[in-house]
Amino acid sequence: MTRHETVDAATGPFDDDIQMIRAQLRRFIETEVEPKGEAWEEKGMVPREVLRQMGGLGILGMRYNEQYGGAGLDVMSSVMLAEEVGRSTFGGFSATVLVHTDMASPHLENAGTPEQKARWMPGITAGETITAVAVTEPDAGSDVAGIRSRAVKDGSDWVLNGTKMFITNGVHADLYFVGAKTDPDAKGSRGITMFAVEKGTKGLSVGRALSKTGWLCSDTAELIFDEVRVPAENVLGEVNRGFYAVMKNFQNERIVLGALACAEAQTALDMTVAHVKQRKAFGGVLWNKQVVRQRLADRQTRIEAGRQLVYHAARLDAAGVECVREVSMVKAYCGELVNSVLYDCVQFQGGMGYMRENPVERMSRDVRVQAIGGGRPR
């Protein structure tokens, strides 16, 4: 389908199946996440039992084939998932889930062989095998073309050496999708290959768990690969074509992060509207001041614009329309949007907006990374 073909704009973004899953997921978050998230923040991770519970509900495999425990849905299910985890107010929980469902495991779905999928996908959809994608490096960040990790063929194996940085789910993941340079003479983005590396493989270690400003219940790691032997059957996709696999998945990742950003912005704004409707200052209730209502209305307008941009890009993607431009717009707009809205929400709530007991304070820290993550728009 070309970008000049049309997508039915009158069709709602979510069908009945997705709406049914949304209702189930919302109940789960209200009972199993929101009351417990503060304890997870202190612990620095989301308990793996929670992810297994989500797997049991069918939440972690919505995009994957039914033979592996999935539901065979399209990108709109990922948008819904991002919106609902975003409503939880715990960005670290959102990151843990979405990295597994929409940033790491899609590498297996997109490039894996039938044998690889049969081996790992059932555990992924069940929440038994948690995934991480290990591409970013200390000197390269999200500049995939700057990868310095090396993999050298040795008999039927590849020997992997290098360091990865800022790896979400990196401390506790069971399966890593790792990018490494396999052609040392290739320039720039060429000569990169993706590998599936299992936890416990000799030579793979967590260099350190990283301490972050936000996303505190998301475990983030520096990973060390020291003479890690990876069998040839663990190569994902074509040798030396890994850069294109990463770029392909950036499309999905950016749509999902855009949906997350809009949901977080909306949740924070709703909390702030409720606050200013009861807060008395300067001789009256803040809500009664026209300038306050006008500024809040402006923020709501911007959120709605971002949400519709996300839906538009997702519809195009689901219909097979080339949409790099629209997805890059999502990346550029929504990450800045959520930071702007959270800044204003803290400001509107005054001193209370700066208190750790207030979810808006935590969200203001969590969303800072939204303008950073997801790679550089092309």
| pLDDT tens string 340-373 | 999 999 999 988 888 999 999 999 999 999 998 7
pLDDT at 10 over 90: no
Kindly state whether residues 225 and 307 are assigned to the same domain. Answer: no
Kindly state whether residues 142 and 121 are assigned to the same domain. Answer: no
pLDDT at 305 over 90: yes
Beta-ladder partners of 243: none
Q: What are phi and psi of 236, to 5 degrees?
A: -100, 115
Looking at 64, 96, 130, the residue that finishes a domain is: 130
271: in domain = yes
Identify the pLDDT of residue 283: 76
Kindly state whether residues 179 and 254 are assigned to the same domain. Answer: no
Looking at 222, 240, 258, the residue that finishes a domain is: 240
pLDDT at 282 over 90: no
Other CB atoms within 10 A of residue 114 CB: 7
Confidence of residue 378 (pLDDT cuts 50, 70, 90): very low
Identify the pLDDT of residue 213: 95
Q: How far apart are CA 176 and CA 201, in angstroms?
A: 11
CATH number, domain containing residue 91: 1.10.540.10
376: in domain = no
CATH number, domain containing residue 328: 1.20.140.10
- Verify whether residue 41 is a known catalytic residue: no
Q: Which residue has the higher pLDDT, 292 or 280?
A: 292
Q: How far apart are CA 215 and CA 78, in angstroms?
A: 20
Q: How far apart are CA 96 and CA 209, in angstroms?
A: 15
Kindly state whether residues 209 and 91 are assigned to the same domain. Answer: no
Computed over every residue of the chain, the mean pLDDT equals: 92
Kindly state whether residues 105 and 197 are assigned to the same domain. Answer: no
Identify the pLDDT of residue 112: 96
Kindly state whether residues 260 and 337 are assigned to the same domain. Answer: yes
Confidence of residue 287 (pLDDT cuts 50, 70, 90): confident
The single-letter DSSP state of residue 97 is H
7: in domain = no
Q: What are phi and psi of 123, to 5 degrees?
A: -70, -35
Give the tokens for residue 84: 């609902």
Q: Which residue has the higher pLDDT, 9 or 222?
A: 222
pLDDT at 193 over 90: yes
Looking at 95, 114, 130, the residue that finishes a domain is: 130
Q: How far apart are CA 345 and CA 268, in angstroms?
A: 7
Kindly state whether residues 299 and 206 are assigned to the same domain. Answer: no
CA–chain centroid gap for 48, Å, is 17
Kindly state whether residues 278 and 219 are assigned to the same domain. Answer: no
The single-letter DSSP state of residue 174 is S
Q: How far apart are CA 153 and CA 301, in angstroms?
A: 54
Our count of domains for the chain comes to 3
Confidence of residue 229 (pLDDT cuts 50, 70, 90): very high
CB burial readout 343-367, b (16+ within 10 A) else e: ebbbebbeeebeeeebbbbbbbbbb
CB 135 within 8 A of CB 246: yes
Question: In the chain, what percentage of residues exceed pLDDT 70?
Answer: 94
9: in domain = no
Kindly state whether residues 248 and 349 are assigned to the same domain. Answer: yes
Q: Label each residue of 253-289 as H, E or C.
A: HHHHHHHHHHHHHHHHHHHHHHHHHHCEECCEEHHHC
Structure-token match 């503060």, residue found: 38
For the chain, the first-to-last Cα distance in angstroms comes to: 21
Q: pLDDT tens digits for 133-166?
A: 999 888 765 666 668 899 999 999 999 999 999 9
97: in domain = yes
Give the tokens for residue 178: 């790792």
Give the tokens for residue 162: 């290098």
pLDDT at 73 over 60: yes
**DSSP one-letter string for 222-236:** EEEEEEEEEEGGGEE
Q: How far apart are CA 331 and CA 346, in angstroms?
A: 23
Kindly state whether residues 21 and 108 are assigned to the same domain. Answer: yes
Kindly state whether residues 173 and 61 are assigned to the same domain. Answer: no
CATH number, domain containing residue 136: 2.40.110.10
User: Among residues 46, 54, 86, which one has the least CA distance to residue 334?
Assistant: 86
pLDDT at 306 over 70: yes
339: in domain = yes
Identify the pLDDT of residue 12: 53
**DSSP one-letter string for 73-92:** --HHHHHHHHHHHHTTS-HH
298: in domain = yes
pLDDT at 281 over 80: no
Confidence of residue 3 (pLDDT cuts 50, 70, 90): very low
Domain that holds residue 106: 16-130
Give pTM, 2 decimals. Answer: 0.92
Kindly state whether residues 261 and 293 are assigned to the same domain. Answer: yes
Helix or strand (DSSP H, E) at 330: helix 324-349
State the catalytic residue, choosing from 84, 109, 253, 326.
Answer: 253
The set of residues, in sequence order, having a beta carbon less than 8 Å from that of 115 and lying 6+ positions away, is 233
Q: pLDDT tens digits for 75-134?
A: 999 999 999 999 999 999 999 999 999 999 999 999 999 999 999 999 999 999 999 999
174: in domain = yes
Identify the pLDDT of residue 197: 98
The runs of H, that is alpha helices, within the chain are 16-28, 37-43, 48-56, 75-86, 91-98, 106-111, 114-126, 242-278, 290-318, 324-349, 359-366
Q: How far apart are CA 12 and CA 75, in angstroms?
A: 14
Confidence of residue 195 (pLDDT cuts 50, 70, 90): very high
CB 117 within 8 A of CB 293: no
Q: pLDDT tens digits for 12-58?
A: 579 999 999 999 999 999 999 999 999 999 999 999 999 999 999 99
Identify the pLDDT of residue 280: 76
